[in-house]
């Protein structure tokens, strides 16, 4: 299991004041990977049009990106154990920069397979950052405000996801793509030339991202702390004890379903809004509206950062999941602006889910926190599997009704908030009961 969150000593984080300088650093990293993650929502309609892909096949973009979390989470934990948090973040940034640069040859060919390969490399770097940063935030201050700090960093992650669709829409979706019938009329060389021209629009944003990541890599501040943030050694007994933690195991399933639901909705929004009965708009206009979905998540996380210092984490999580489910169902049963507005509002209620599930999942684990956080990070693989399932469903019953899948995910998350996150450790410092 990944080891990424506790010190070599088992001192409670509540014994230490908040480390604001380190918080500023990890908050910047959260913004970066938020921006990259949301750019996938722009790549999906763009590459679907260029390569004439089905919904199920184009969702391999999310499978490649989020599948990397499952594959590289354990190796990332091993790297943290060997070289520590700051150096792991540097390695992660370097890998991300390489992945971003790989978009250039992928566009030059052009090849959908190479785009997927570039996304896997990019996501491997993101995974290293996330394995280090998420649990690190929970120990940068008192444990009773851990979910509040995670909500604050996730708010800046959402700032990145809010900006990315707008920027990506301008840079990547600037041209008007040809329809399927027009593509079928192009001969071999003309089709290759068209695909190269359309694919070339991804070069500028990803080259810019690579440069920004390189600058960040050489400007990471030294983390000042009285503790050496290295994980504890692994033992068979500790691994067995981990699976006895009910709130952790059920929380991992919660993360799996939450990420899957959020990514599924975001991935389909552009194609959803362009449907005649929904928005009947261009992909570029639709991309601007996707920013509103992520803007809601950002606003909600700033609210959550303040509110969860006083409110019950469990009650808040259960309530927002119920509301999110209702909004998805409203969108499924309506058309036009009501369908668009209700699905966009889901972003606001998604906002506090990830940090709340994460904080509840590791709450009370003590020396098992490192391994528990690794399990939760691996569960992000839901973003690879559920969008793929929804894509297959959309190919059969249409995008409009395929949203039933994320609605079902929110039902489980509501259960976890109200009941599934409760455990027997009455010494928990989180304001969750």
Do 362 and 374 form a contact (C-beta atoms < 8 A)? no
Q: What is the pLDDT of residue 204?
A: 86
Q: Is residue 1 part of a domain?
A: no
Q: What is the pLDDT of residue 178?
A: 60
Domain that holds residue 181: 18-221+236-420
Tell me the DSSP string of 272-329.
Answer: HHTSTTTT---HHHHHHHHHHHHHHHHHHHHHHHHHTTTS-HHHHHHHHHHHHHHHHH
- Indicate the pLDDT class of residue 227, thresholds 50, 70 and 90: very low
Q: Is residue 425 part of a domain?
A: no
- Only one residue has tokens 């009965």, namely 277
Q: What percent of the chain has pLDDT over 70?
A: 80
pLDDT at 244 over 60: yes
Token readout for 215 is: 């600058």
Q: Is residue 86 part of a domain?
A: yes
pLDDT at 14 over 60: no
- Indicate the pLDDT class of residue 431, thresholds 50, 70 and 90: very low
Maximum separation of any 2 CA atoms in the chain, in Å:
70
Residue 324: name the closest of 407, 200, 227, 251 by CA.
407
- Only one residue has tokens 């050496």, namely 228
**pLDDT for 147-187, tens place per residue?**
677 767 877 887 888 898 888 888 888 665 665 666 666 66
**pLDDT for 72-92, tens place per residue?**
887 887 787 787 777 887 888
Q: Mean pLDDT lowest for which of 25-29, 220-224, 410-414?
A: 220-224
- Indicate the pLDDT class of residue 432, thresholds 50, 70 and 90: very low
Q: Is residue 431 part of a domain?
A: no
pLDDT at 413 over 90: yes
**Which of the pair, 407 or 421, is modelled with greater confidence?**
407
Alpha helices in 19-111 (DSSP H): 20-51, 55-58, 60-83, 85-101, 103-108
Q: Is residue 227 part of a domain?
A: no
Residue 45: name the closest of 157, 192, 160, 175 by CA.
175
Q: Is residue 202 part of a domain?
A: yes
**Which of the pair, 89 or 229, is modelled with greater confidence?**
89
Token readout for 136 is: 């690190």
Q: Is residue 207 part of a domain?
A: yes
**Whether residue 110 has a cis bond before it, omega within 30° of 0:** yes
Q: Is 265 exposed, middle or buried (0-12, 13-18, 19+ CB in 10 A)?
A: buried
Q: Is residue 42 part of a domain?
A: yes
Give me the chain's average pLDDT, please. Answer: 81
Q: Of the ranges 45-49, 140-144, 338-342, which is most confident?
A: 338-342
In total, how many domains does the chain have? Answer: 1
**Which of the pair, 124 or 180, is modelled with greater confidence?**
124
CATH number at residue 88: 1.20.1250.20
Distance CA 52, CA 174 (A): 18
pLDDT at 373 over 70: yes
Q: What is the mean pLDDT of residues 125-130?
A: 85
Distance CA 137, CA 152 (A): 10
């Amino acid at each position: 299991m990944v080891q990424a969150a506790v010190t070599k000593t088992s001192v409670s984080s509540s014994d230490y004041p908040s480390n604001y300088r380190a918080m500023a650093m990890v908050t910047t990293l959260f913004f970066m990977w938020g921006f990259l993650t949301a750019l996938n929502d722009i790549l999906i309609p763009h590459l679907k049009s260029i390569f004439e892909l089905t919904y199920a096949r184009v969702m391999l973009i999310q499978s490649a990106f989020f599948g990397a979390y499952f594959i590289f989470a354990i190796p990332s934990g091993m790297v943290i154990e060997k070289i520590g948090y700051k150096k792991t973040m540097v390695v992660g940034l370097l890998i991300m920069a390489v992945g971003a640069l790989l978009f250039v040859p992928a566009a030059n060919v052009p090849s959908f397979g190479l785009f997927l390969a570039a996304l896997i490399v990019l996501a491997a770097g993101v995974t290293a950052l996330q394995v280090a940063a998420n649990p690190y935030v929970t120990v940068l201050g008192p444990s009773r405000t851990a979910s509040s700090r995670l909500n604050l960093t996730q708010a800046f992650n959402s700032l990145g996801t809010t900006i990315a669709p707008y920027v990506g829409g301008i840079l990547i979706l600037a041209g008007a793509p040809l329809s399927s019938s027009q593509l079928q009329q192009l001969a071999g060389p003309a089709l290759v030339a068209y695909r190269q021209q359309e694919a070339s629009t991804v070069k500028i944003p990803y080259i810019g991202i690579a440069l920004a990541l390189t600058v960040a890599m050489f400007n990471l501040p030294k983390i000042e702390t009285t503790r050496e943030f290295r994980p504890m050694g692994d033992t068979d007994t500790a691994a067995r004890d981990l699976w006895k933690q009910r709130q952790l195991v059920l929380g991992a399933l919660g993360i799996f379903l939450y990420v899957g639901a959020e990514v599924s909705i975001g991935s389909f929004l552009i194609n959803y809004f362009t449907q005649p009965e929904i928005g009947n708009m261009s992909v570029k206009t639709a991309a601007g509206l996707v920013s509103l979905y992520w803007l809601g998540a950002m606003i909600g996380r700033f609210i959550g950062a303040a509110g969860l210092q006083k409110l019950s984490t469990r009650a808040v999580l259960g309530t927002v999941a119920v509301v999110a489910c209702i909004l998805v169902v409203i969108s499924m049963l309506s058309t036009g602006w009501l369908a668009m507005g209700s699905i966009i509002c889901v972003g606001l209620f998604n906002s506090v889910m990830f940090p709340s599930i994460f904080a509840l999942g590791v709450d009370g684990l003590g020396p098992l926190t490192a391994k528990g956080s690794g399990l939760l990070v691996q569960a992000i693989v839901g973003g690879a599997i559920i969008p793929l399932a929804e894509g297959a469903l959309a190919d059969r019953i249409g995008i409009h009704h395929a949203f039933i899948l994320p609605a079902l995910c929110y039902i489980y998350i509501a259960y976890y908030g109200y009941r599934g996150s409760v455990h027997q450790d009455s010494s928990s410092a989180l304001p969750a009961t």
